[in-house]
Amino acid sequence: MRIPCPYCGERGNAEYAYLGDAGVSRPQTPLGAALEGATLDAWMNYVYLRDNPAGAHRELWYHASGCRAWLIVTRNVSTHEILNVEAANGAIRDGRVGAL
């Protein structure tokens, strides 16, 4: 696979490390809150549960052997077609990543 890094240009996948679904966001849990119910569900979901859709998927990739940028790569996991690549920086905070 070839992934176009917005900073470095198109590079082979050997330069990248894969993390997984970019659509999960870290729950906000106040100090001292009990780990149960919706809070526990949210954390289990964030840490463990992942969808495995056929088709387009937003994923986190790290340009480990390049510029060290974390990227959100939109990839059709059935065809490996890369549909979009953007820097992760701020995208999740800004709510620009979620289910497709």
| Site residues (vs other proteins, CB under 8 A) | 1-2, 12, 17, 19, 26-27, 29, 31-32, 35, 39, 43, 46-48, 60, 62, 64, 68-70, 80-82, 87-90, 92-93
Q: Are 66 and 23 a contacting pair, CB within 8 Å?
A: no
Residue of 66, 65, 61 whose CA lies nearest to 85: 61
Name which of residues 4 to 33 contact Zn ion (CB under 5 A): 5, 7-8
At 82, give phi and psi (nearest 5°).
-90, 120
Q: Which is nearer to other proteins, 32 or 51 (CB)?
A: 32
